[in-house]
Amino acid sequence: MKKHFLNLCAHLLWLGLVLWPIQVVFGQEQFQQTQFIYSAFAINPAFSGVEDVINGHTGFKRMWAGLDDAPTNYYAGIQGSISSFKNAMSEKRTLRRSNERFYKKLTNQKNALSHGLGTYLSFHKQGAFNKFSGYLSYALIYGLSDDFKISMGLGTQFTRQKFRQDFIVLNNPDDDDVYLNYLNGAGDMFGMNLNVGAMIYGKNLFFSYAIHQPMKITSNANDNQVIDPGIFHYMIAGYNIIINHSFTLQPSVLLQYNENYELSQHYMAKVKYKNLFWLGSGYRVSDAISAIIGFSSRNGLLFSYAYEYHVENIGYQSNGSHEVTIGMRIFRDNVSQPFLW
C-alpha cells in the first residue's frame, strides 16, 4: 500500500512541477447546463473513468426560447476507464452481475491504480459570436479501500471564438469604436485553459473539487481587450439514497466560485425507478428553476430532457430554456448502481 501511495504522490508532484510556470490569460466559464452531471468530467477531470465503463453523450441547450438570436449550445463527449476502452476495442465480453458476493470479489480494487480518459466538444452560438471548445481529460484513480476510491484529474480546454462581421449592420460603422475594435480582431480569440481536480467516491456518494486556471497560448489581435477572469473553483457532490429495491433518490449540487463574480449555486434532485425512469427538479439560485424527465434502457441507451424557467426579468420575455441529452453506456452493462446517471 505504501508503494502505491508513494507512486501516486510522485505522479502529482511531477504534474505540479511541470505546470507551475504556465502563465495566465483570458477565459470565460460556460458550464451552465441544467443536467450538469452528464458533463461532470468536463468540469472536473477527476470524473473521467470513475465508473469503469464507457459513457458517451451528446445534446444541445436552447436558452431563452422565443427570443431572437438567443444562445444555443451543442455538445458531445465520451469518457471511461482505459481498461474499458482496451476491452471494447478487443471485443472481450465481461460477466454480468448475478451474485453480489462474486461480483464484489471481482471488483476488489483496494490499493490498485487505474486510469481514465475523456474528450468533450462544444459549439456555442450567441448573436454575432461563435465559440468552439475542445476538451481533453485524464484521471489517476487509486483504491483507498474496498468501498472508496480517490481520483486526481488533469484537463486541458482549447477555445476558439470568432466574430461574425456579417451579422451586424450599422448605419455609421466608422463612428462606433467597439465595432471597429471587433473588426480589428478584438472579437477573435484563441486560448487554452488548464483544469485540475480531485474526487473521493464510493458506491453511493461522491465529493469533488476542481480549479480552472486559464493559461496563455495565444490571444487576439488586441491584447488590451483580453480580460483575465481569474481562477474558478468548482465543487460537485452527490448521494444515492436507497428508498427501497425500486426507488432511489439522487440529490446533487454544483457550486462555482470566482472572486470577480457572485457565487453560483445549482441544486438538483432526481427520483429514479429501477435505473430505468426518473423525474427531477433543480434550482440555480437567483437564476432559474428546472424540471427533468428521462429514461434509460437496459442496454445502456439514455434520453433526458430538462426545461428551465428563468426567474430573472428575461424569464417573462422568453419561453424558457430547453435541454436534450442522448447518451449510451457501453461495454460493462449492469456493473454497478450508477451515481452519474
- CB-CB contact of 249 with 268 (8 Å): no
Pairwise CA distance, residues 224 & 215, whole Å: 17
Task: Give strand pairing partners of 139.
Answer: 116, 153
Task: Give strand pairing partners of 57.
Answer: 77, 327
Cα–Cα distances in Å, from 75 out to 123, 131, 317, 327? 6, 12, 26, 12
Q: Is the pLDDT of residue 252 over 50?
A: yes
Q: Is the pLDDT of residue 336 over 90?
A: no
How confident is the model at residue 8, as a pLDDT? Answer: 42
Question: In this predicted model, what pLDDT tens digit does every residue of 146-188 receive, in sequence order?
Answer: 889 999 999 998 888 787 666 665 555 555 555 555 555 555 6
Identify the band that residue 119 occupies on the pLDDT scale cut at 50, 70 and 90.
very high
Which residues touch 42 (CB under 8 Å, ≥6 apart)?
31, 77, 118, 120, 135, 137, 155, 157
- 3-class DSSP assignment, residue 322: strand
Task: Give strand pairing partners of 289.
Answer: 283, 309
How confident is the model at residue 22, as a pLDDT? Answer: 29
Q: Is the pLDDT of residue 257 over 70?
A: yes
How confident is the model at residue 44, as a pLDDT? Answer: 95
What's this model's pTM, rounded to 2 decimal places? Answer: 0.77
Which residues touch 253 (CB under 8 Å, ≥6 apart)?
235, 236, 237, 238, 265, 266, 267, 268
Q: Which residue, among 103, 112, 100, has the nearest Cα to 149 in the 3D structure?
A: 112
**pLDDT over 70 percentage in the chain:** 65
**pLDDT over 90 percentage in the chain:** 37
How confident is the model at residue 155, as a pLDDT? Answer: 94
Maximum mean pLDDT: which of 107-116, 207-216, 246-255: 246-255
Q: Is the pLDDT of residue 204 over 80?
A: yes
Query: Phi/psi of residue 123, each to 5°?
Result: -130, 120
Pairwise CA distance, residues 63 & 74, whole Å: 11
